[in-house]
Amino acid sequence: MDPELAAAIASSGASNVKLSPDVASTRGFFHAAFTESFRSFAKPRLPLESLYEVHEQTIPVKNGTISVRCVIPADEDKHKTYPVLVNIHGGGWSVGNKEIDDCTLRELCVTLGLSTVNVGYRLAPEHPFPTAVDDCLAALQWTAENTTLLRVDLSKGFLVGGMSAGANLSAVVSHIARDDPFFEGRRLTGQLLREPLVCHPDAYPERWKSELRSIEENKNIPPVTREFLDLFFGWYNSPPHDPRFSPLLYPSHKGLPRAYIQCMELDPLRDDGVVYAKALLEAGVEAKLDLYPGVSHGFHYVWPTIKTADKVREDVVEGVKWLLNMEVR
């Protein structure tokens, strides 16, 4: 284990955290541990507010509405257009909100000249599977239909991405959008998959079973243990073999947009990302994988000052550049 991470886990008592089956308690814990710790770290580093515009929008969806936060580069030339990233936050489909990635998206907007759409999808258990899938697909469709508002040219880049559950949902909607005539002429061009889950542990296909070992090997390593994952699986209540939860199980990955994938060595979900990269490459899809030694799932949110967390954040920028065919360092 990375010495800085080991010290952070020891001093924080993260190894002794007792999970509550109460949704409100878990949401409060997650918000404090992941969202607020990272926001307090990132806020002083935010670019000047004059460099971007923020618009909150409401999107009608089946049986309700969702919100999206759009961050658009500020430019005197109002005819200038940008690529776009639709961001789907993590949190086990049950916790988290738009705030968790807000700072990162503002930085990406200014650093890369990139419009971003940050999706506030409805959460389980109040809104179980497949609500999150449907909401994120609706946000993707809304983005494709509102390029003028977003000052976007989809031919410059139409990306979807997220971390953890957000990466899972990004992989799923990438498959759905590939096959949906709605997106004809405005296809996704890239996936940003950060520490993705791509298959329920009860649905591992025989082909990949021997390579999906991390769910057991790393089951007790904070901050996101197998116990956490099982709690979230229960709340989301998806059939394990449904490819809208386990996108590794789609019959084909051919024709998907290129993918940049990040994995942590000590993550229970490490092998999900590694195997998915292999599956994409076998299907002729460009995929780039970065694997970080000695660190665990989501550590860079909870303990953002650790040196390896800097590397993870820097690589997100470089990964998005690669997805957009920009010059990479």
164 among known catalytic residues: yes
Q: Hey, is 155 helix, strand or coil?
A: helix
Catalytic residue (choose from 164, 170, 246, 296): 164
- What are the start-end ranges of the E strands in 27-166? 52-61, 64-73, 84-88, 115-120, 158-163
Catalytic residue (choose from 101, 134, 135, 267): 267
75 among known catalytic residues: no
DSSP 217-242: HTTT-SSS-HHHHHHHHHHHT--TT-
User: What is the distance between the alpha carbons of residues 47 and 110, in angstroms, rounded to a whole number?
Assistant: 7
Catalytic residue (choose from 115, 297, 300, 315): 297
Helix %, strand %, coil % of the chain (to 5): 45, 15, 35
**In Å, what is the CA distance from 170 to each residue of 38, 173, 179, 259?**
22, 5, 15, 10
Any idea which residue has 């405005």 for tokens?
A: 186
User: What is the distance between the alpha carbons of residues 89 and 103, in angstroms, rounded to a whole number?
Assistant: 12
User: What is the distance between the alpha carbons of residues 59 and 174, in angstroms, rounded to a whole number?
Assistant: 20
55 among known catalytic residues: no
For the annotated catalytic residues, the residue numbers are: 164, 267, 297
